[in-house]
Structure 1
């Protein structure tokens, strides 16, 4: 019964209380993002990004630092600093890595404030501009809190963002071994270009033997090359938002 209730709540969060945002990115955009993030999202993905001159967004939970998630070692503060000062974006993913379906608005606000302080203390006062929902769970009551604190929120509903979208629940595709076989990456990039749209991708670990939620270096490179072939501009999520607002 609870699973059914949560399913309905996820649907409500995706479709109700929408905060309209116009997406028109001439020629199309791609943003790459990594959630949580496992160390391999930097140690293995970082060289691929550097090789292609691409900057990404890393969604951080301070409570995961030096911990373990899905059996994988999570990032260190030194790695977070390294990627940040290399020009990548650091965004918010709650402090505890907890579904917003389980939090009241007040509890969510406290988690976001704690994460903001944790990151700012380690990144010279950096203020995170964008948010990604843990597990992709967009709770209806969370949307107003995210709207107050961030320029946008990113979910996990598949598709290219184009035309009028919900700025606190943007669509994204999964750079995940369990999802990638179902995508035509070339077609998605071509759609983003044709619609002046914004394709956002999210992943987790990166290795030769990824978890169901991760991908290989080759998968990551394949998407980058498809985006470049389609003429998409590749930017971090916050930079994409700024370009749309310009």
Structure 2
């Protein structure tokens, strides 16, 4: 029964309280994002991003710092400092990596406040401007909380953001080696360019032999090359939002 109720709550979060934004950049946009920040999302992915001259968004949970998640070591403060200094966006992923289905709106707001304080203390007052839902779980009551704190929120439902989109539950594709063969990436990039839409990808670890939620360095390189070949603007989520909302 609990699984069924959670399924219904996810559906409510997806289809209700939609706060629309018109997706209308001058040309198609592609954004790369990494959730949780396993160490390899910086040590392996960072050099690839630098080689291509692009910036990504890293969604941080302060409570994961220095620990383990999915049996992988998570970022240390030095990694967060380095990626921030390199010009990548640091966004919010709650403090303790909690599903919004398990939190009341007040508890979610407290988690966001705690994460904001944790990041601000380490990044010289940095204010996070965008949010990604842990596990992609969006409880209906969480949307107003996210809307009050951030420019936008990103989920995990497959698709390109075109026309009118829910600013608090943007669509995205999984940058996961197990799922990438199921996407026609060339067609998806071409559709993003043709529709002047916004395609967001999210990943976790980047390494040979990745977890089910990660990808290989070659996967990451290929996705970036395809976005470039489609002549998409490649921007972190906050900068992409400014193009779309301008």
TM-score greater than 0.5 by the shorter chain = yes
Cα deviation, 1:161-211, whole Å, max 9, x if unaligned, reads: 011000000000000123212111111110100100000000000001000
The two structures, once aligned, show a CA RMSD in angstroms of: 0.6
Q: Are 1:59 and 2:25 an aligned pair?
A: no
* 1:175-194 to 2 correspondences below 5 Å: 175-194=175-194
* 1:1-246 to 2 correspondences below 5 Å: 1-246=1-246
Once residues 175 and 25 of structure 1 are traced to their aligned partners in structure 2, the CA distance between those partners, rounded to angstroms, is: 23
TM-score (normalizing by structure 2): 0.99
Runs of 4+ in 1 over 3 A off after TM superposition: none
- The number of residue pairs the alignment matches comes to 246
Instruction: Give unpaired runs (5+ residues) of structure 1.
Output: none
Cα deviation, 1:199-245, whole Å, max 9, x if unaligned, reads: 00000000010000000011111111111110100000000001112
The 3-state SS of whatever aligns with 1:160 is coil
| Worse-matched range after superposition: 176-185 or 69-78 | 176-185
Once residues 242 and 62 of structure 1 are traced to their aligned partners in structure 2, the CA distance between those partners, rounded to angstroms, is: 26
Once residues 160 and 241 of structure 2 are traced to their aligned partners in structure 1, the CA distance between those partners, rounded to angstroms, is: 15
Once residues 42 and 25 of structure 2 are traced to their aligned partners in structure 1, the CA distance between those partners, rounded to angstroms, is: 28
The 3-state SS of whatever aligns with 2:141 is helix
Once residues 194 and 201 of structure 1 are traced to their aligned partners in structure 2, the CA distance between those partners, rounded to angstroms, is: 18
The 3-state SS of whatever aligns with 2:223 is helix
Once residues 31 and 98 of structure 1 are traced to their aligned partners in structure 2, the CA distance between those partners, rounded to angstroms, is: 24
Once residues 238 and 45 of structure 1 are traced to their aligned partners in structure 2, the CA distance between those partners, rounded to angstroms, is: 19
Query: What displacement does 1:125 show?
Result: 0.3
The 3-state SS of whatever aligns with 1:225 is helix
Query: What displacement does 1:26 show?
Result: 2.3
TM-score (normalizing by structure 1): 0.99
| Worse-matched range after superposition: 62-71 or 175-184 | 175-184
Once residues 11 and 177 of structure 1 are traced to their aligned partners in structure 2, the CA distance between those partners, rounded to angstroms, is: 26
